[in-house]
Chain A
Amino acid sequence: MRDDRPETHRALSGDWWCYRTPFRHWRASDVLDEARYKAVASVFRTTIANSAGRHAGTHGLSAGTSNYDAQIFPIGTSTANAFHPFFSDEWIRSLHRLLAVPETHRIDAALHSSPPGSRTGWIHNDFCSGWFDEATASSGLAFANRAGCDYFTGRSRNESACPKEYVRAATLIYYLCNDGWSEGDGGETGFYGAGQQHDRTNVALVPPLNNTLLLFECSPHSYHRFVTNPRRRRNSIILWLHTTVNDAQSRWLDAVHRRSAQ
């Protein structure tokens, strides 16, 4: 059947709501239809199960950072199709239009799986540089290629790399494989008010309910963190959209957390 909806929203399905506080964000439920959810969840489970215990790298889970306990499986061009529609051109374009952010076709994505008892993360805003190796970037969507350059600093990892700086424009967290989650299980995403980097009282907790997503604009105010999950594993797919340095600076002046190897 022909889809007559405007291109702007065509890829977005489910029940979407925009929230103004504590910073602009969107939440959506019933994001995928039942069959598509089952397919994506199955790939997620298989990927996590097959990767457990392997060395970090393209095909293995890496440990989180020193203050984030999640096991992380990076998604790249070769693995993205299995998670359709999340990494399709149309889906990404719709998100850019919803956010009113220029389309750069530069994304970073990963599967995150936090074992029971993972520590509460640190309060941060995700508003930082993201470097891409333009030498290996494809003409369509380009995933961060850490073999070419360091994502956070742009430091080249081989002679042919051509690092270019972008800035994170938005973070999307899609929750899945958290069957039977209930209050008290933890694993929520906590939101913190503007200027509250050091105030640990959350102003909202977004529960990791299956087939829901959270999308927020990265800004100097988008303070958030992972909240400890004492009882059960918490699973999600995470995706960062990027904008140009000029666009980020036109919005937020020098508040961008820019890092470079130089």
Chain B
Amino acid sequence: MKPVCLVTGAGGRLGQALCADLARDHYVIAAYRRTVPKVASQLQWPVRTDGAEEARHSSIHCVQADLACREDIRRLVEVAAARNGRIDSIVNAAADVRFHGPLVELWESGDEVVTQLAVNAVAPVQLVSAVFQACWKDQSEENAQWNRNLVNISSVSGLYVTKDVGQAYYAASKAALNTLTMYLSLELAPYSVRANAVCPSQFTNESATQHVVNAVRRLITGNETGALVSNVP
């Protein structure tokens, strides 16, 4: 039986690449907010024009969800658990990647910076918590058997301070995510669930994106916990 992986941010470049890669040996629940990921799923599939037989069943099931909304997180976990009976890995790839400019000019900033912190740092933890309550609590043995874990897609911005880029809030949200990942690794260790983060720099092309995917796959299938992997790409 294949493990079940829940991927958020599935509509983005990295999310789509993650779904396509993980679907080779996982059942994937692909959560997207606006853009339906261009991967074979129950919503859309490639039409074979080379005469080969079309795949009728996809390993990917798409779910629309706005992770800034707690009810959507609850529904996402319910759908994932109901569909596959369990959730073995979470890859939090959803992110608000806007740069808001110099902090000193943001005294009038509105809800967008709060939303960014919520989506990038709080929502991933809420999702993990919801999965923990629904699937991982009191399941240490099964968790170990399935090598259950989570991988947060963070950023190198959360590790260093960079001058004149205007990314302070974004960087702070990723720094918070890094710290929260380490706390999660401590809290989940007694339940045999691992928690790690990947901190890539920019991945604007296919090759660089694949490096990040490879790093995520390595963390999912490995045995590390509490790691912030930054040497990608």
Could you list which residues of chain A lie within 8 angstroms of chain B, going by C-beta atoms?
4-6, 9, 12-21, 26, 98
Indicate whether B38 reaches chain A with its CB closer than 8 angstroms. Answer: yes
- Do residues A20 and B49 form an inter-chain contact, with CB atoms below 8 A? no
B51–A6 CB distance below 8 A: yes
Q: Report the separation of the CA atoms of residues A17 and B43 in the bound assembly, to the nearest whole angstrom.
A: 10
The main secondary structure of chain B at its interface with chain A is loop
Q: Nearest residue in B to A98 (C-beta to C-beta)?
A: B47
Number of residue pairs A-B, CB distance < 8 angstroms: 37
Question: Among the interface residues B43, B46, B47, B51, which one has the most CB atoms of the partner chain A within 10 A?
Answer: B47
The CA-CA distance from A5 to B49 in the complex, in Å, is 8
Checking B42, B43, B46 against A16 with a beta-carbon cut-off of 8 angstroms, the contacting residue is: B46
In the complex, which residues of chain A have a beta carbon less than 8 angstroms from the beta carbon of B45? 17-18
> Which B34-59 residues have a C-beta within 8 angstroms of A?
36, 38, 42-51
The 8 A CB mask of B136-162 against A (1 = contact, 0 = none) is 000000000000000000000000000
**Interchain CA distance A149-B105 in the complex, whole Å:** 67
Indicate if the CB atoms of A5 and B44 lie closer than 8 Å. no
B44 contacts A17, CB within 8 Å?
yes
By beta carbon, the residue of chain A nearest B42 is A20
Contact B51 A5 (CB under 8 A): yes
Q: Report Cα–Cα, A13/B46, bound state, in Å.
A: 13
Q: Could you give 27 example pairs across A and B, Cβ below 8 Å?
A: A5-B49, A5-B50, A5-B51, A6-B51, A9-B48, A9-B49, A9-B50, A12-B47, A12-B49, A13-B49, A14-B49, A15-B46, A16-B46, A16-B49, A17-B38, A17-B44, A17-B45, A17-B46, A17-B47, A18-B46, A18-B47, A19-B43, A19-B44, A20-B42, A20-B43, A21-B43, A98-B47
- Give the distance in Å from the alpha carbon of A4 to the alpha carbon of B48 in the complex: 14
Q: Which residue of A lies closest to B44 (CB)?
A: A19
